[in-house]
Structure 1
Amino acid sequence: MYVPRGTRLRTTAAVAVAAALALSACTVGDGNVTKASGGGSAVTLTFLTFENPNLTSEYWDAAIARASAKVPGVTIKKLVGTNSTAYLQQLYASGQAPDIMTSISPDGFAQKGELAAWSADEMKNFIDPHAGAIKGQTYALSFNVQPIPLVYYNKDDFAKAGITAAPKTYAAFLDACAKLKAAGITPLEIGGGGKDTWAAAFGFGAIVSSDMLTKTPDWFSKRAAGTVKFADPDFVAAAQKAADLSKKGYIDTAGLSRSYSDVEQAFRDKKAAMYPMGSWFSASLDKNKPSFDVGVFGWPSDAGQNVVPVVTGGGLMVNSKAKDVGLAKKWALAFAEDKTNLDNSVLADGLIIGIKGYTPPANVGAMYTQTLDIYQKAQQSGQTAPAWMNTAGDGSLPPGFSDQLNAAIVDLITGRKSPQAFAAYLDQRYAAATR
């Protein structure tokens, strides 16, 4: 998964230095450094990755080795950190920015000249080479597409509650929630405590995408221009929907204190019937099948559409001051276009690949196939929308803002902030982030 997964924004110099030291501690030792093929002295480039249950250390090491074998003259030193904008900001500020990085929005870095732009020729194999472009320039290789989120659900729970089909309208969705609660089943698993507050944002993000971004897909750009605000009625109404789900007891609020991994496990343990999560969850379900049948649908809108929020991008970026920008870009392209790397990203992380001529491996699982089918049907019927909080490029949320937004969404769900106070707070923090 490439969606930026922010920790709470930390701004003091002491914290920035601590983060840089933590990154150094995560650097793989010389015994694990992947060396390029070919003779001569190699340029050592650092590559910032992150690890999670889907993308393990072994996954990254193997992918790095395949790319390095294609680019003589490069030695890659893997750095393991957090794929959040705030974290990368700290690394730049402390003088430890990596040469190559992945799964972080380029916004904020590109404008300051900190990233190398990709040329049209370098992007020739990508289906959407301009995804996430900033002022006409592309800074992240757009090699994958991700629906964020879809709703994964326990079919057995639906049957017990007398629900015969996935809801297609928001009214039907609320009816399903009421039936599940009446049957003694918590409808929604939403959460992510501590550093994983990003995981709590997906239910709310689905509401914003289905209610607002289907009608105003350029809302992000309008907010950047100051022509719309979070305090506007349409956004407050979306926030009210999220607050109401919690007030009605439709959310497993214990999930708000769980880590991302524990929230995922809670769904497997039948703590709730539905789980709004990014498409990468399909890979986890295929790898570790739960004890019940799982279905998937797009978040229902008032208008009767199952909306699929989508973001394209997530690829590798190159530091404009890398030790060798040309070799860094060549290596990043080799990494992103390697067929085995792409196949493994499908199998491990449920990615939908945006490379021309690519076909998924034959051994993809049933949940990946369902997820891909939902996405393709939404594309064909015009039922996709920008993925709230995950849009890159012109009009994307300012650096550091997502971390504060994630925490505020938890406050909204728990009732610590009313929808109106939530919206006013976001306008305040947005103004501070864009000064």
Structure 2
Amino acid sequence: MIGRRRIMIAVGALATVGLALSGCAAGGSDAGGGKTKVSLLVNVTPNLTEEWWNSLVAPFEKAHPDIDVVIQNPGAEGVAAAVPRLLAAGDAPDVVESLPPTTTLAPELLDLSKYDWASKGPLADQYTIDGKNYMAGIGMQLQSLWFYNKDAFAAAGIAETPTTVEEFSDDLAKLKKAGWTPIQTGGDWMSSYALQTVGLPSVIAEHPDWYAKMTKGSLTFSKTYGDAVDTYADWIAKGYVNDDALGIKYPDAEQNFLAGKSALYPMGSWFVASEAAAKDPAKIGVFRAPAFDGVDKPAMGANIASPYVIMRDAKHVDAAAKLVEYLVTDKAAILDQLKVDGNYRAGYEYDMDDLGKELLKIVADTPDASYTPTGQGYGQRTLPDGYSTEINAQTQALLGGTSAADVNKAMDAWFSANTK
């Protein structure tokens, strides 16, 4: 899958809001003074601190003095690991944030379809399961993106960003000739990021039901993704990708690009926050990943930003729904959440630099129908378990010299062994 710094499972982390009766340590409870106690299990990071989460819900508590929101920190194990453990122990919170619903998790979640704020929110249709809405989010993380060094493009005589993969290949040749390392990538989860950024816009545009058909075995990897593998293998062979990619960690790859040591960097929209925080970064722009020549309306890989779900066994559903509604509809709350993690939503512009504004324009110009899952997928648009690990391993093999033909053959074999 296309990874990100906080999500190795295809999308973010998880948060939960628990509503239970007094005396329940993890779930919600009735707090002293007649207050309904709602626990919110959240993804805690250096920027998403417990203090920040408490400040986020403070206006809600002020407007609802009968509800007390208790922030839960999952600690080192993270929310994604904490929720299954809590479910197994019968001690799960009532609302979960940042790990989108799956067919496995859906039986544990409350159907939110009756709420307009869930059924009409960002990417709501893409995340449905059996036609039901189990989550509500605040915006999007775009993933089919290429960030580029504007000085490198100018030095190579490239006046416009590419609109097809074929034009992109020509531009890479110009950058190489001008003395630049064209593409900066790295090892670990980053390995397959560029490959998927090359392939997904065309694959999904040509096969909107690609996830379902791949899972059923009615399409093959080599027939759909093969051109992208061939192209990326050609780029590697021509030296368009940094030759030490497999030994480069994500933070180092990011810093290399920020410092102007490479011309292009395939990464998700969260990179904008890193660029904004960097001291004296290179002059950087961004463009959406193009499709192959002849493919209309390229797909745009995207994940929901901060999805919230309510657990099926929530004891105070109305209070939980009020909290989630606030988090996904209150403009100030949405802007706070978008800004802190570098996420985007059309019509919601916070204080951002020029790169952020370029990306916001991409969001505004992208039709909802163009958005697609990345990697292993989400909702009902998913691939067999283990796909993300396999595509990453095979891309690492490609970087190590394995032929495109062998990689396509290996991926076909993997799907044959793992489809229904």
Which of 82, 94, 115 is the matching residue for 1:121?
A: 115
Which of 7, 19, 22 is the matching residue for 1:5?
A: 7
Map residues 167-206 of structure 1 onto 2, 5 A cutoff. 167-193=162-188, 197=189, 199-206=190-197
1:377 aligned to 2:379? no
1:75 aligned to 2:70? yes
CA distance in 1 between counterparts of 2:298 and 2:77 reads 30
CA contact (8 A) 1:301 1:307 kept: yes
1:422 is aligned to 407
Map residues 59-70 of structure 1 onto 2, 5 A cutoff. 59-70=52-63
1:397 is aligned to 383
Cα deviations by residue, 1:135-154 (Å, 9 ceiling, x for unpaired): 11111214313321211100
1:343 aligned to 2:331? no
CA contact (8 A) 2:165 2:198 kept: no
Map residues 309-388 of structure 1 onto 2, 5 A cutoff. 309-311=300-302, 313-314=304-305, 315-322=307-314, 324-353=316-345, 359-361=348-350, 363-379=351-367, 384=370, 386-388=372-374
Runs of 5+ consecutive residues of structure 1 not aligned to the other structure:
9-33
Aligned residue pairs, count: 396
Q: Which moved more, 1:335-344 or 1:205-214?
A: 335-344
CA contact (8 A) 1:68 1:75 kept: no
Cα deviations by residue, 1:39-97 (Å, 9 ceiling, x for unpaired): 32553525131526x64555444334455555514423222457796786566567675
CA distance in 1 between counterparts of 2:158 and 2:181 reads 14
**Matching residue's letter, 2:345:** I
Runs of 5+ consecutive residues of structure 2 not aligned to the other structure:
11-27
Cα deviations by residue, 1:359-405 (Å, 9 ceiling, x for unpaired): 323x332212111212333439x8x4524326422231244543443
Query: Cα 1:126–1:234, aligned 2, differ >3 Å: closer, same or farther?
Result: closer
TM-aligned CA deviation for residue 117 of structure 1: 1.9
Secondary structure, aligned partner of 1:108: coil
Cα deviations by residue, 1:394-418 (Å, 9 ceiling, x for unpaired): 2312445434433443333333x54
Cα deviations by residue, 1:231-252 (Å, 9 ceiling, x for unpaired): x323222222222222221112
1:267 aligned to 2:286? no
Which of 41, 60, 73 is the matching residue for 1:47?
A: 41
**Matching residue's letter, 2:179:** G
CA distance in 1 between counterparts of 2:68 and 2:281 reads 49
Secondary structure, aligned partner of 1:300: coil
**Matching residue's letter, 1:228:** L
Secondary structure, aligned partner of 2:102: coil
TM-aligned CA deviation for residue 424 of structure 1: 4.5
CA distance in 2 between counterparts of 1:36 and 1:207 reads 52
CA distance in 2 between counterparts of 1:366 and 1:36 reads 47
**Matching residue's letter, 2:173:** A
Taking structure 1 as the reference length, the TM-score comes to: 0.77
Secondary structure, aligned partner of 2:104: coil
Query: Cα 1:300–1:110, aligned 2, differ >3 Å: closer, same or farther?
Result: same
Which of 233, 238, 241 is the matching residue for 2:228?
A: 238
CA distance in 1 between counterparts of 2:34 and 2:48 reads 32
1:228 is aligned to 219
1:284 aligned to 2:274? yes
CA distance in 2 between counterparts of 1:366 and 1:35 reads 46
CA distance in 1 between counterparts of 2:85 and 2:417 reads 18
Taking structure 2 as the reference length, the TM-score comes to: 0.79
**Matching residue's letter, 1:212:** V
**Matching residue's letter, 1:105:** P
CA contact (8 A) 1:186 1:273 kept: yes
CA distance in 2 between counterparts of 1:238 and 1:201 reads 12
Query: Cα 1:368–1:325, aligned 2, differ >3 Å: closer, same or farther?
Result: same
TM-aligned CA deviation for residue 118 of structure 1: 1.0
CA contact (8 A) 2:344 2:363 kept: no
Secondary structure, aligned partner of 1:352: coil
1:413 is aligned to 399
**Matching residue's letter, 2:364:** Q
CA distance in 1 between counterparts of 2:95 and 2:174 reads 49
TM-aligned CA deviation for residue 130 of structure 1: 2.7
Query: Cα 1:339–1:204, aligned 2, differ >3 Å: closer, same or farther?
Result: same
**Matching residue's letter, 1:359:** Y
Q: Between the two proteins, what is the percent identity of the paired residues?
A: 28
Secondary structure, aligned partner of 1:49: coil
CA distance in 2 between counterparts of 1:98 and 1:200 reads 35
CA distance in 2 between counterparts of 1:255 and 1:84 reads 30
TM-aligned CA deviation for residue 182 of structure 1: 2.0
Cα deviations by residue, 1:186-225 (Å, 9 ceiling, x for unpaired): 11112243xxx1x333211222222211111211121223
**Matching residue's letter, 1:114:** E
Query: Cα 1:86–1:45, aligned 2, differ >3 Å: closer, same or farther?
Result: closer
CA distance in 1 between counterparts of 2:332 and 2:148 reads 31
**Matching residue's letter, 1:185:** W
**Matching residue's letter, 2:39:** L
